[in-house]
Amino acid sequence: MSFHGGFLGVVIGGALFCWRHGIAMVQAGDLMALCTAPGLLFGRLANFINAELWGRPSDLPWAVVFPGPHAAACPPGWPGECARHPSQLYEAGLEGLVLGLVLAWLAYRRGWLGTPGALTGVFLMGYGAARAFVEFFRQADPQFITAANPEGYRVFLGAGWGLTTGQLLSLPMLAIGLWLVIRARRRA
């Protein structure tokens, strides 16, 4: 399941729960943001252990050879085994560890739990930025890879440039996160 789709489901379910119980959604969102980062950390580590959602081919010293015929398929002329970026570990570090530490610091050292919506906004911006960055190293969705679009961009801009599905879905998260932080800080 895509994180973005699961996130939308949590937002809808959380909004219904908050509405039914008279809880402010922005305050619940702040608490959920604090809990989500550790879940992302362990989820991405599980992706690595399960050898799924691997990265693009790489010749870097920390590149990993993943099992399976799809992971072993590299561009023609690739020297040796097809090692790949461990993009799951990049995401675990950025979305889980770094974002989790930033959120905890803001919540407990800077008092942002008292500013409803601010932590939710930081989470959305942090996740969106981390995911958009890691997408440069992550293997693209196979249905978008063609001879004319070998990088598998969802929006192909030409000459090796484009945006992946993950990057496109992260753009609204960045915008909404920024809006939430600005709104929360103005009300503080």
Q: What are the boundaries of each domain within the chain?
A: 3-187
Return phi, psi of residue 155, to 5°. -115, 105
**Whole-angstrom Cα distance, residue 47 to residue 139?**
13
Model pLDDT, residue 1: 43
Mean pLDDT of 16-34: 90
Higher pLDDT, 140 or 85: 85
Higher pLDDT, 127 or 7: 127
On average, the pLDDT of the chain sits at 89
**Whole-angstrom Cα distance, residue 38 to residue 41?**
5
Residue 155 pairs in a beta bridge with 163
Q: What is the pTM of this model?
A: 0.89
Model pLDDT, residue 32: 93
